Structure 1
Amino acid sequence: MRHLALCVFGPDKPGIVEKLSRLVFEHQGSWFGASLAHLAGRFAGIVDVKIPEEHYIAFAAALQDIEDLDIRIAEGGLLPSASADSHDCQLSLVANDRTGIVHELTSTLSRLGVNIEEMTTKCRPAHNYGELFIAKARLRVPKDVTHEQIRELLEACGDDWMLELDEPSVT
């Protein structure tokens, strides 16, 4: 089996996910997971699939035949970054939007050796305040970095930063 990460980008329209899932099925593959989104009027996604080795070439060719989509294929199955030397943390941030806010957030986390494993951001209008920046992230934090250290450095970025750091719930 070939473990693959499909990176998909193109104009958003009905049927994209159906086409992708049909090709996986037709080539006797398995769909393991996906992160799919509508951003800036476009469809963007990453899909985790496994395809039998003997179907890989035909599968890759069929993907390239999907009209209006840019699809990149990368080998998947890399080991996750989780280790005993780190732990997960959930971050929620709300702040007044400004130029460079994502860079401030990510560079501060990077200085601490924190890995951003998943992040979503958006801006929302705030009555009488302009735009609010909202970020949610799943972080991989080195065991020698405390939540208090993260909080102190992030809150130093702006006195308007409302921040929550939590251990993820286990379900």
Structure 2
Amino acid sequence: MNHLVISCIGPDRTGIVDTLSTIISRHNGNWQVSSLHHLSGFFAGVIEVAVDEKNTQVLTSDLKNIAGLSCQIELAEPNSSQVSTNLVLELTANDRAGIVQEISSVIHQQGGNLIKLVSSQSSAPHTGQLMFKAKVQVAMKDDNLDDLISALEHIADDLMVDITKSS
């Protein structure tokens, strides 16, 4: 069984997910994990699909030939790295240019692997100030946890961090 990671982007229109799922189903693929979004008038999505080796090439070809959608497809290799801790960070701060770079740099410097980042912007209720909010999943070794927390707390005075361990 092959595992494909499929990244797609194109102008948003109705039926894109139906088209993708129909093609995947037609080639006996199993849609496993996905993240699909509407961003500034575009559809952007990442999908993991398990498919028999004999169907991989034709599935790849059909996905790449969807009109108006650009798909990049990679064959995934199993990740054998051992991680002792999975963290979920919920971050809130005044929005500013470079905040994602600051956070990702701290995570990297402390030995963490940023697995998932979902961010948004919203206005603060009373001031209207733009706020940055993010939910971040990080994989790392237990012995680096205290250093990561300390480093995140030193990014800025306005950065609030809620940390939970996940399985």
Q: Same fold (TM over 0.5)?
A: yes
Where does residue 150 of structure 2 map in the other structure? 152
**CA positional deviation for 1:145:** 1.0
**CA positional deviation for 1:9:** 0.8
Where does residue 2 of structure 2 map in the other structure? 2
**CA positional deviation for 1:77:** 4.1
Where does residue 54 of structure 1 map in the other structure? 54
What are the Cα deviations for residues 120-149 of structure 1, in whole angstroms up to 9, with x where unaligned?
011111131520000111111222112x32
Q: Percent identity?
A: 33
Tell me if the contact between 1:6 and 1:71 (Cα under 8 Å) persists in the aligned partners.
yes
Q: Does residue 137 of the first structure (1) align with residue 132 of the second (2)? A: no
What are the Cα deviations for residues 37-87 of structure 1, in whole angstroms up to 9, with x where unaligned?
122221111111122222223222211221110001100242254x2x531
Where does residue 36 of structure 2 map in the other structure? 36
TM-score of the superposed pair, with normalisation by structure 2 = 0.91
Q: Please give the alpha-carbon distance, in whole angstroms, between the structure 1 residues aligned to 2:80 and 2:162.
A: 25
Q: Which moved more, 1:16-25 or 1:85-94?
A: 85-94
Q: CA RMSD in A?
A: 1.6
SS at match of 2:102: helix
Q: How many residues align?
A: 166
Unaligned runs of 5+ in 1: none
2:113 pairs, out of 112, 115, 119, with 115
SS at match of 1:56: helix
Q: Please give the alpha-carbon distance, in whole angstroms, between the structure 1 residues aligned to 2:128 and 2:157.
A: 15
Where does residue 95 of structure 2 map in the other structure? 97
Where does residue 19 of structure 1 map in the other structure? 19
Tell me if the contact between 1:96 and 1:129 (Cα under 8 Å) persists in the aligned partners.
no
Q: Which moved more, 1:121-130 or 1:132-141?
A: 121-130
**CA positional deviation for 1:31:** 1.3
Tell me if the contact between 1:11 and 1:42 (Cα under 8 Å) persists in the aligned partners.
yes
Q: Please give the alpha-carbon distance, in whole angstroms, between the structure 1 residues aligned to 2:127 and 2:77.
A: 47
